[in-house]
Amino acid sequence: MLNIQSYVSLKPYNTFGIDAIARYWVTISHENDLYTLLHLTEFIETTKLIIGGGSNILLCQNFDGLVIKMNIQGIDLIREDDSHVYIKAGAGVNWHELVQFCVHNGYAGMENLSLIPGTVGAAPMQNIGAYGVELEQVFESLTAVHIASGEKRTFTHADCAFGYRESVFKRELKGQYVITDVTFQLDKHPTFHTRYGAIQETLTEMGVSESNLSIKAISEAVIRIRQSKLPDPAQIGNAGSFFKNPEISKVQFEALQTQYPALPGYPIGDDVVKVPAGWLIEQAGWKGYRSGGAGVHAKQSLVLVNYGNATGDEILHLAKQVQDSVKDKFGVVISPEVNVI
């Protein structure tokens, strides 16, 4: 049964802890409730905002529409073959809980994505990724409902048009669909990804060698790394990485390296290099910066934080200052990963 509320504070529902107000609010726990909601005459023309864990949004104003909190639960093994298992999870399932379910059951592929905040439904929209693995590598399909027509549709991997922290749901189909569940293809025989970041170093510290390497060990290493460098939103408001790592031409990268020999880079093609945005931001002098309630985290420059009383506009103003500074110093444009509302 639908319980549509009016004038609800969104502070508990966004990890930045911004106190914005939703004109209308509803939680959806079952797919049938979503169909009912989308056919309510009084809300057909109302602007809608779909949220999961609220871990990738920056609220810069009150929302004069209907906020739909997706809370559909359930994790099911739907089929398997000699090499793979296929797991379907509801859009409201906590992402880390899904990863831990897979690790516990020996289903490989998600372990590098441990402790990423948010929910399953938001994951394909953003094509979340960390430590050398992106969601699209384990994605099989998803089910979504068209907001205007109420039509249910299955999206394949190709339909989603995944890119770096991108998908069709952030571009051509932005705001048009509500994702209700996602199906993942996991491996029975793991391929370990340990070369990115500090994973190998952390595994060594944990006493893990090649002979006893496991997806559980990799998951635990990733959790240790994330906890050591990323602030807990329950303690300091943040949305994780605020900016994407920019992709620049090999020519530009080599030119920058002549000026800045320590500049890291990860080739992702013959002529393209991915550069850590956190390194650029730190070199531009922003690490640990604070102005009022808004700041750049002292341990990870990629993370903008709300120390308790910042507005969304103050966070956004800081983000633009950081962007301008990096562009002026390096000639590199860094783009927000977070969705500004």
- Rg over alpha carbons for the chain, rounded to the nearest Å, is 21
Tell me, yes or no, whether 38 and 79 share the same domain: no
CATH of residue 60: 3.30.43.10
**Domain C-terminal end among 35, 70, 105:** 70
Tell me, yes or no, whether 287 and 182 share the same domain: no
Q: In angstroms, how far apart are the furthest CA atoms of the chain? A: 63
Tell me, yes or no, whether 185 and 103 share the same domain: yes
Residue 218 covered by a domain: no
pTM: 0.89
Residue 224 covered by a domain: no
Q: pLDDT for 287-331, tens place per residue?
A: 999 999 999 999 999 999 999 889 999 999 999 999 999 999 999
Tell me, yes or no, whether 93 and 189 share the same domain: yes
Tell me, yes or no, whether 88 and 144 share the same domain: yes
Tell me, yes or no, whether 328 and 253 share the same domain: yes
Q: pLDDT for 94-126, tens place per residue?
A: 999 999 999 999 999 999 999 999 999 999 999
Tell me the C-alpha distance between 197 and 210, whole Å. 17
What are the structure tokens assigned to 270, written together? 């013959």
Residue 223 covered by a domain: no
Residue 118 covered by a domain: yes
Instruction: Work out the average pLDDT over 142-168.
Output: 94
With 80 as the cut, is the pLDDT of residue 286 above it? yes
Q: Which of 165, 219, 220, 224 is catalytic?
A: 165
DSSP 253-311: HHHHHHH-TT---EE-SSSEEE--HHHHHHHTT-TT-EETTEEE-SS-TT-EEE-SS--
With 90 as the cut, is the pLDDT of residue 1 above it? no
Residue 232 covered by a domain: no
241 given a catalytic annotation: yes
**Domain C-terminal end among 43, 70, 97:** 70
Tell me, yes or no, whether 65 and 144 share the same domain: no
Which ranges of the chain would DSSP assign to H, the alpha helix? 31-38, 95-104, 123-126, 157-160, 199-205, 215-229, 250-259, 277-283, 312-330
CATH of residue 329: 3.90.78.10
Angle at 178 between CA 40 and CA 63, to 5 degrees: 70
CATH of residue 79: 3.30.465.10
Tell me, yes or no, whether 151 and 263 share the same domain: no
Q: Which of 134, 220, 314, 337 is catalytic?
A: 337
23 given a catalytic annotation: no
Residue 217 covered by a domain: no
Query: How many folded domains does the chain comprise?
Result: 3
Residue 277 covered by a domain: yes
242 closest CA partner among 310, 324, 165, 140: 165
Q: pLDDT for 211-256, tens place per residue?
A: 889 999 999 999 999 998 888 888 899 998 999 999 999 999 999 9
Tell me, yes or no, whether 19 and 89 share the same domain: no
Tell me, yes or no, whether 143 and 252 share the same domain: no
Tell me, yes or no, whether 277 and 197 share the same domain: no
195 given a catalytic annotation: no
Q: Which of 55, 114, 141, 241 is catalytic?
A: 241
Handedness of CA 272, 274, 279, 280 (dihedral sign): positive
Number of H helices, E strands in the chain: 9, 20
**Domain C-terminal end among 165, 189, 205:** 205
Which residues span the domain enclosing 62? 5-70
Residue 267 covered by a domain: yes
pLDDT, position 211: 84
pLDDT, position 116: 93
Beta-carbon contacts of residue 169 (< 8 Å; ≥ 6 apart) = 124, 125, 160, 177, 179
With 80 as the cut, is the pLDDT of residue 197 above it? no
Tell me, yes or no, whether 104 and 193 share the same domain: yes
